[in-house]
Amino acid sequence: APPARAEWTGQVGFILSAVGSAVGLGNIWRFPGVAYENGGGAFLIPYIVALLTAGIPILFLDYAIGHRYRGSAPLALRRIAGKLGEGIGWFQVMICVFIAIYYTAVLAWASSYFVYSFDIRWGDDATGFFVNEYLQLADAPFTLHFVPSVLIPLVIMWIVTLIVLGAGVVKGVQRMNVIGIPLLVVGFLALVIRALFLPGAVDGLNALFTPDFSALLIPGVWVAAYSQIFFSLSVAFGIMLTYSSYRRRKSNLTTPGLVVAFSNSSFEILAGVGVFATLGFFAHQQGIGVGDLEGLTGVGLAFMTFPAIVSEMPGGPIFGMLFFGSLAIAGLTSMISIMEVILAAIMDKFGLTRLQATYRIGGVLAVISIVLFGTTSGLTALDTIDNWANNIGIVSSAVAMTITVLWIRGSGRMLAGHLSALSTFKVGRTWLFFVSILGPVVLGYMLVATIIGLIAEPYGGYSAGYLLIVGWGSVVLMIGGSLILTSRRWRYNPDNFEPWPQ
């Protein structure tokens, strides 16, 4: 028989770990830029709609499947929907493989910049420093020279991640979150409060929160809101499913889910406030409007614009350490959850021990990540893979999972009953409507729109050949990988099993 499944020590350990996964790089560097680009204050409407109609409902679905069928994504989904379900589970694992490889790179940069903040190492030209001295970006992608400034923190981050995972669900993952999350909250609150007292802060907040209601008519704004919610809440690609498979038999499922979802969104909005207050200060320094600043999104915001601001600020080193320290802790606790999806699946299917899975599979991924991102090829591949993994990978996975579990298997009512059995917050028709009707239809539409958009207009101005290999190629590898993994033999019969009634 397979070894007994690990269990969190209780509800608090679970909630902190789930919050640790949800709150990550997505909240601190992705959200503020995405919100700003998609209508500022008006983005909050699609964002809240996406949270309530898809984020929370699919979070509950992940919880119900993971808990009732007690398995990693491929195991639990196989138990509910046979080989098709297993294939979707492995597809979710493959999404995590791709995310893991680049997520650690950003984490490594954040930890370098934490150290660099002590003496503002980047000097007066933050952009030049990041691109030329720190990353040493080559002109063409795919030139492989190791860059020690990135290589060293990258190797350290992989070692830390694998040590935590190797120590197990309770002694590693839970402990890391129980220590990390309070630290993150304190550090980040200090940063936001400081930012609010900077001259010009109010202009920044106005720039973020002044609504542009015409943005609500643009479909792309809605797509951006839904993808942001999935990535940020860690739903629909195996993470919350895996974490809830470690909960005890008698568990309140929906109430902690609401705590996790609202904590994550509060943190996200707080990050928007902190980042934009800081940008307001920067615009004020230069005597321009916030709207005229450049580099407000993605990688540029955190590693070019922010360092430049830190250099101009009284007490800059402390501010920089708080910012990059928060980014690193938030990123590390999320990185661990991404890897746990992969390791749990490998342990379940092939019967490896946790240590074997951690060092073998984790080791291989670490090497790939280090070769790709510890070298001069770095930045370009990262944003391309990020775009395809989120907007195509995660959205497809949500559509495939809801259609299979709810339409093909028709398990909606049973799962609603499972969720409500011991929860103070009961779910019923409204939940079923969101996950089984609105979800697949709206998300399916978004997916088609995104695919057409990506074909019509080359992403980020890259060449078609590059996008074919790196962008679409990633999706082909995800599908291929899941087919191969699904075809392998199980070490222990996965169907020899009784679902948990609560």
Contact positions vs ligand LEU (CB under 6 A): 21-22, 24-27, 99, 231-232, 234, 239, 334, 337-338
**Residue 417 to residue 425: CA distance in whole angstroms:** 12
Q: Which is nearer to ligand LEU, 64 or 338 (CB)?
A: 338
Q: Which is nearer to ligand LEU, 239 or 385 (CB)?
A: 239
Minimum gap (Å) between residue 337 Cβ and ligand LEU: 5
Q: Which is nearer to ligand LEU, 36 or 98 (CB)?
A: 98
Handedness of CA 110, 115, 117, 122 (dihedral sign): negative
Q: Which is nearer to ligand LEU, 113 or 231 (CB)?
A: 231
Under a CB-based contact definition with an 8 Å cutoff, are residues 450 and 227 in contact?
A: no
Minimum gap (Å) between residue 278 Cβ and ligand LEU: 20
Quick one: 46 exposed, middle or buried, by C-beta within 10 A (0-12, 13-18, 19+)? buried
Minimum gap (Å) between residue 368 Cβ and ligand LEU: 17
Minimum gap (Å) between residue 302 Cβ and ligand LEU: 12
**Residue 322 to residue 337: CA distance in whole angstroms:** 23
Quick one: 292 exposed, middle or buried, by C-beta within 10 A (0-12, 13-18, 19+)? exposed
Both structure tokens of 385: 């893979």
Both structure tokens of 14: 């679970």
Q: Which is nearer to ligand LEU, 13 or 412 (CB)?
A: 13
Which residues does 196 contact at the CB level (< 8 Å), separation at least 6? 273, 274, 277
Q: Which is nearer to ligand LEU, 382 or 415 (CB)?
A: 382
Question: Residue type for 241, please?
Answer: L
Under a CB-based contact definition with an 8 Å cutoff, are residues 439 and 57 in contact?
A: yes
Minimum gap (Å) between residue 32 Cβ and ligand LEU: 12
User: Tokens 């109430």 map to which residue?
Assistant: 255
Quick one: 113 exposed, middle or buried, by C-beta within 10 A (0-12, 13-18, 19+)? buried
Both structure tokens of 230: 């999935």
Q: Which is nearer to ligand LEU, 52 or 120 (CB)?
A: 52
